[in-house]
Structure 1
Amino acid sequence: MRPRCSALLIICSFIYTCHKPVHPHRIQPLAQTHVVIDRSPDAKRIFLGTPGIAVGPDGCLLATVDLFGPGVEKVPWRKGILPGSGGAVVGKIFISRDAGRTWTPAATYPFFHARPFVAGGRLYVLGQCGDLMIVASDDGGKTWTAPAKLTQGQTWHASSNNVWYSRGNVYLVMERHEERNLQRCWRIADVAPVLMRAGETSDLTRPESWTFASSLVFEDVVTPDQLEYFGVPFYPCAADTAVWLTPDRPMNPIGWLEANVVQFTDPTHLWTDPSGRTFHLFLRSHTGRTGYAAMAKVVENADGSMTTLLETTPSGKKILYTPLPGGQMKFYVLWDEPTRLFWMVGTQATDSMTRPECLPADRYNLPDNERRRLVLHFSKNMIDWCFAGLVAIGENERAARHYGSMVVAGDDLLIVSRSGDEQAQSSHNGNLFTFHRVKHFRSLVY
């Protein structure tokens, strides 16, 4: 090749590299721009989790977030002390009266794993510090009741998942730990998702206002050696302890957690109950792989009690696992009546087939545990999901965008995220609480 031609080729290649055309239909984030609601005062020792959001009776926005980690013991607010570990936790409430542009701290509470919601014209925040605890506000979040216990001597778990309203009642799922012989591991095999029901106009700070469904503990449903043909569990797994795949990456016993509750009303849906007395639970599924959620159902009986069991397919087979994008991580589901669709915000994985020992040093836990892509899907039946868009993406492994919770406000979808930046201790232990607005979200339907 002549020198002049060679130089011209190099110049053209450089210009193309610097000005590579972007495909007009390439996915762009729907809500990359965000508002930071709260930031950890000590990113390496105080972590932010369990983001929640609700629209108050007066139209204000209410957002909640947890503080956890070794530095929480030094914060100035009243703290909850977790039974067993002795760790300190605090929850914080923020109010926005300008559509989310600015946020004002309103209150704190001594528990975590909390979600905000509205019932009977009151604002509530319900979570746990071992036992279930709740606070309420009658004035749009300006003042709050003292924390009230709903249980005694129990151990609960949850995240800021959805709340369902039906026939004048409010329904939500918290998870109770049942005492089993689990040792030195993440305890989600001994978890029972428990559907809770109360009348919307009842005083939900009183234990007698609530009815609890029966328990269905994961390890009583299935054990790892019963599963075959679809790769669950994906990695070597024990029933009662962690199996260490690398010195810092354990495979914990399989289990379920962080449940959403829905009802099917489409008369053509195979699982619709014409009486309106059946609820379906969709849970995060820990299997070591991506793309599966766990599910169960709850049936209200004639005497008002509620029974938790597995759903069955038309063949008569029981169904525990169902395909769901992002089912390996916490996801949030809401029903939108104008579109008659379920909308889900969750986490997208991109490299779950990487060998654990080959993961970047700053990747948290196993390959299926990627936490920096927050994505939106919709479905008419909770089984077949359509990708609606990428909500936001973090710049690196520590810059998590995950554990989203959301609420509809007019034509927009408001999402809060458990987030981080380069200062975060890890993608799990983030230092930011962020607010994102997906404008005109219904126009994403195709």
Structure 2
Amino acid sequence: FEMIPSMAETPARTELREELLVPLTNGTRGSETWMHRPLLRARVESTLGMIAHTLVRAPRPEPDARPLFFRVMAVDHESRELLLRLERFNHYFTHESVLLAAGQSIQVGSGGNVYGGVDWVACAMNADEHADLTLPGSWALPEAPVGNPAAVHSDALRELFGVAFRADGAVRNSIVGFQLKGVASEAEAWEAGFGSIYWMEGVVTRVRDRHGGNGKLLSIMRVNNDWMCDLAALVEYDDEGVALGGAFTARFLRYATVPGLGVGHPAIVYDEASDLYWMASNVNRDAARRWRNPPAEEQALHPALHITPFSKCEVDRSTLALFYSPNLFNWQPAGVVDYHQALHRHFTYPHMIVDGEDLLIVSRASFAPWARDDSELNAFYNNHNSNSISFHRVRNFRRLANAAWALEQGVYSQHPRANGPVIEVSGMPGAAKDSASS
């Protein structure tokens, strides 16, 4: 699941143990500290609740008033230190270097509940299936949630891959907490550090295949955007030692292409008989469309679609497809479960189980929402909002996979399967190391 640190009942905060000089030059776009964002080592009273890649701020009293904003690049719990990157958008309202005194508060950065204006961090809970799950003590949490690295690279992701999220005035103002002036365009706002893509709705699967599975949990998370409709984020959870009182750990692996993860929420099951993972996921047939709703006077015949800027991959949820994989990373098409020509119709957010030789799939659906003129809810049902549940049976589903080809390893493959290298972000630079999952 995902959490938003700024929406906690008591958002995390700490104080500086020593004064901290925050350098700013000229206070304008293109200045030295704009082009080369300073990295600052902050010694704090506690690192509890501080998460790598999330936004924090240092509130300042009158007459300064405006807070300073930083990204947490690394957390060293043992030394009680944060590595902070000064965010570029500080230059719009702070025009010279600032000395933060010992005792200065450092707290969660954004207080606005606006998509694109808050950090979403990944987390999981684990419990023994025989325990009383109504008791909080039955559940274990990872040592720390996982922050989204995309938040650190919003401008680069937009420039290289065309993926970005909202950086409009409403989002910018929700982050800084006041009316921000001086931003000339959304492109400039992305450059300044606004508009990070976010992850959501992870699907967790135990990696237990017999040809290299490591027994850990892999969360494949949706990444909403306009163009890369197969973009996903992968987070790994290791709960092997929890039953023995050991640690429950989590780490970000990478961004990856997984069919339909920019479109909707998939369903994934592991099938022991085929030793393959199976996924029902939506397919966007044309991500390059310029989506526009017809004029209001035409919507009786052509109902309005649910179109969200920077999440346009999810406009087309009319096709539910089936895929298989030997490893949860590489997916092959097996066929189409169901589809409709009309974009108003959808089959989405599926769930599925193996039933002998068949796959049983249940899905949210929108069925002929414009068929009844007397229904006041006609305009509500569309490509996003459901009014039906659809049931599907894929008979003899294993015949749809080329299992011998997918599972081939031979003399050239290696065990265990490599998931790395991954750069650890829990410590400070200098302590980072490459590691491979086994």
The answer to whether residue 400 in structure 2 is matched with residue 444 in structure 1 is yes
In the TM superposition, 1:92-103 aligns within 5 A as none
304, 318, 327: which is aligned to 2:261? 327
Q: Within the alignment, does 1:254 sit opposite 2:210 as a pair?
A: no
3-state DSSP of counterpart to 1:391: strand
Which residue is equivalent to 2:313? 368
> Structure 1 vs Structure 2: percent identity of aligned residues?
25
Show the counterpart of 2:337.
391
Larger radius of gyration: 2
1:415-446 CA distance string (max 9 Å, x none):
11110123252221111122221111112112
The answer as to whether partners of 2:151 and 2:196 remain within 8 angstroms in 1 is: no
Higher relative CO (CA 8 A, sep ≥ 6), structure 1 or 2? 1
Partner of residue 429, structure 1: 385
Counterparts of 1:233 and 1:361, CA distance in 2: 28
| Alpha-carbon distance between aligned partners in 2 of 1:353 and 1:227, rounded to the nearest angstrom | 18
Higher strand proportion (structure 1 or 2): 1
Report the CA distance between 1:225 and its aligned residue. Answer: 2.3
Is 1:201 paired with 2:201? no
Counterpart code for 2:289: T
Q: Provide structure 1 residue ranges, at least 5 long, that are not aligned to the other structure.
A: 1-82, 85-177, 246-250, 312-318
Matches within 5 A, 1:53-68: none
**Secondary structure class of the residue paired with 1:227:** helix
Question: How far apart are 1:357 and its partner, in Å?
Answer: 4.2
Q: CA offset at residue 252 of structure 1?
A: 7.1
Aligned in 2, Cα 1:253/1:361: closer, same or farther, shift over 3 Å? farther
Q: Deviations over 1:159-179 (max 9, x none)?
A: xxxxxxxxxxxxxxxxxxx97
Change over 3 Å in CA distance of 1:200–1:282 after alignment to 2 = same
In the TM superposition, 1:213-362 aligns within 5 A as 213=142, 214-218=144-148, 222-227=152-157, 230-234=160-164, 237=167, 241=171, 253-265=196-208, 269=212, 272-273=213-214, 276=215, 278-289=216-227, 290-300=229-239, 302=241, 303-311=245-253, 319=254, 321-328=255-262, 329-357=264-292, 362=304
The amino acid of 2:252's aligned partner reads L
Which residue type is aligned with residue 157 of structure 2? L
Distance 1:236 1:197 in 2: 34
Give unpaired runs (5+ residues) of structure 2.
1-7, 10-106, 174-184, 187-193, 295-301, 370-377, 403-438
Taking the aligned partners of 1:200 and 1:260, their CA distance within structure 2 comes to 19
- Displacement of 1:215 in angstroms is 1.1
Equivalences for 1:399-414 in 2 at 5 Å? 399-414=345-360
Alignment partners' CA distance in 2, 1:191 and 1:349: 25
Judging changes above 3 Å, is the alpha-carbon distance between structure 1 residues 266 and 439 closer, same or farther for their aligned structure 2 residues? closer
CA drift of 1:222 comes to 3.4
Aligned counterpart, 2:406:
none
For 1:441, the aligned partner's letter is F
The 3-state SS of whatever aligns with 2:313 is helix
Q: Give deviations 1:88-122, integer Å, cap 9, x for gaps.
A: xxxxxxxxxxxxxxxxxxxxxxxxxxxxxxxxxxx
Letter in 1 for 2:145: S
* Superposition deviation, residue 264 in structure 1: 3.1
How far the C-alpha of 1:406 sits from its partner, in A, is: 0.8
| CA contact 2:233–2:256 (8 Å) conserved in 1 | yes
- The number of residue pairs the alignment matches comes to 254
**Pair 1:211-2:140 in alignment:** yes
Q: Which residue of 1 aligns with 2:362?
A: 416
Q: Distance in 1 between matches of 2:108 and 2:349?
A: 27
TM-score w.r.t. length of structure 2 = 0.51
Alpha carbons of structure 1 residues 398 and 434: separation in structure 2 relative to 1, 3 Å: same
Aligned mates of 2:151, 2:172 — CA distance in 1: 20
Q: Which has the higher helix share?
A: 2
Across the aligned residues of Structure 1 and Structure 2, the Cα RMSD in angstroms comes to 3.6
| Conserved? CA contact 1:282–1:295, under 8 Å | yes
State the alpha-carbon separation in 1 of the partners of residues 319 and 276 from structure 2.
Answer: 22
Contact 1:185 1:253 in 2 (8 A): no
Contact 1:375 1:392 in 2 (8 A): yes
